[in-house]
Amino acid sequence: MSELNLILLGPPGAGKGTQADRLREDFSLPHIATGDILRAQVAEGTELGREAKSFMDAGKLVPDEVIVGMIVERVAGGDARDGFLLDGFPRNRQQADALGEALSGLERHLTAALLIEVPDDEVVRRMAGRRVCVKNPTHIYHVDFDPPKHEGVCDQDGVRLIQRDDDKEETIRTRLEVYHAQTEPLIAYYDGAGVLRRFDGTRDPDEVHAHIRATVATLRLEENL
Ligand code: AMP
């Protein structure tokens, strides 16, 4: 069967991670999320993590040298050999070129770039309201959409909820500027290559998921023709 080599594009807070979790199950693809990989490195205190942290806290992109080799290697090997779902990479033209070269070197090609579109104001509303548990940062709440039972306290651990540094409004604005300046040009790049597919990220996550799943299922059929 043909491979599905997919990337997710869209601003921070568009719901790429949520959709990736579901698509990973639908199509048995490894989900490669650069933000998650970097956060794990920061938590472990590795050299890469130490290099990345200040850029991440400021909402800026981690330098390409730190990230490109790591992702290209990951895409070429192991569980990604038969397809992948990249989330958070590429973030600029250099990264897109590096990915394209790596895939052609392996005689593979990108199946689609899935773009989830959400306006800036909605991104700020979603991200600035996010709160995480100080003990377990995978316990995530939202002050409006998913509040804890007691304000500021984790339902599961009973400890304080905090706002991640990169969820502070000022940092979100920087992340959006970085997105518009560096990542948004990839929309035209992948559209020109005929692989762009657009989705309305302001809709209910279930609806967004249904649309993406139907599109990817069709792409898979076409790849197999
Ligand atoms: P994310 O969770 O994808 O929003 O990523 C969080 C942060 O990790 C970003 O704001 C960047 O600082 C860094 N990051 C993630 N992916 C990349 C990438 N492909 N290139 C550079 N920096 C990245």
Q: Are residues 110 and 139 in the same domain?
A: no
Would residue 53 count as lying in a domain? yes
Residue 93 bears catalytic tag: no
What is the 149 CA–ligand 1 centroid distance (Å)?
A: 31
Residue 53's nearest CA partner among 45, 178, 2, 71 is: 45
- What pLDDT does residue 89 have? 96
Count the neighbouring beta carbons within 10 Å of the beta carbon of residue 20: 23
Would residue 13 count as lying in a domain? yes
Per DSSP, helices labelled H in 28-87 are 34-44, 47-58, 64-76
Separation CA 92–CA 186 (nearest Å):
7
Q: Are residues 186 and 206 in the same domain?
A: yes
Residue 39 bears catalytic tag: no
Beta carbons of 93 and 185 less than 8 angstroms apart: yes
By residue range, what is the domain housing residue 15? 4-118+177-224
Angle between helix 34-44 and 47-58 (nearest 10): 120
- What pLDDT does residue 87 have? 95
Round the CA-based radius of gyration of the chain to a whole number and report it: 18
Q: Are residues 35 and 143 in the same domain?
A: no
User: What is the total count of domains within the chain?
Assistant: 2
Torsion 36-95-62-209 (CA) sign: negative
Q: Are residues 133 and 98 in the same domain?
A: no
Q: Are residues 124 and 112 in the same domain?
A: no
- Which DSSP string corresponds to 124-135? HHHHHTEEEESS
- What pLDDT does residue 162 have? 95
Residue 130 bears catalytic tag: yes
Ligand 1 site, CB within 6 A: 12, 34-35, 38, 55-56, 59-62, 67, 88-89, 91, 95, 166, 175
Q: Which of 39, 74, 130, 131 is catalytic?
A: 130
- What pLDDT does residue 67 have? 92
Contacts of 160 (CB under 8 A, 6+ apart): 133, 134, 152, 153, 154
- What pLDDT does residue 2 have? 75
CATH number for the domain spanning 199: value is 3.40.50.300
Q: Are residues 93 and 142 in the same domain?
A: no
- What pLDDT does residue 161 have? 97
- Which DSSP string corresponds to 185-217? HHHHHHHHTT-EEEEETTS-HHHHHHHHHHHHH
Q: Are residues 82 and 154 in the same domain?
A: no
Contacts of 96 (CB under 8 A, 6+ apart): 90, 186, 189, 190
Per-residue pLDDT of the chain (225 residues; tens, 9 = 90+): 578 999 999 999 999 989 999 999 999 999 999 998 998 999 999 999 999 999 998 889 999 998 998 898 888 878 888 899 999 999 999 999 999 999 999 999 999 999 999 999 999 999 999 999 999 888 999 999 999 999 999 999 999 999 988 889 999 999 999 999 999 999 999 999 999 999 999 999 999 999 999 999 999 998 877
Torsion 69-138-112-194 (CA) sign: negative
Nearest CA to ligand 1 atom 19: 89
Would residue 195 count as lying in a domain? yes
Separation CA 67–CA 106 (nearest Å):
19
Q: Are residues 62 and 114 in the same domain?
A: yes
Would residue 194 count as lying in a domain? yes
What is the 1 CA–ligand 1 centroid distance (Å)?
A: 32
Residue 175 bears catalytic tag: yes
Would residue 172 count as lying in a domain? no
- What pLDDT does residue 1 have? 52
Per DSSP, helices labelled H in 92-168 are 93-105, 120-128
What is the 181 CA–ligand 1 centroid distance (Å)?
A: 14
Angle between helix 120-128 and 169-178 (nearest 10): 140
Q: Are residues 70 and 154 in the same domain?
A: no
Would residue 133 count as lying in a domain? yes
Nearest CA to ligand 1 atom 12: 56
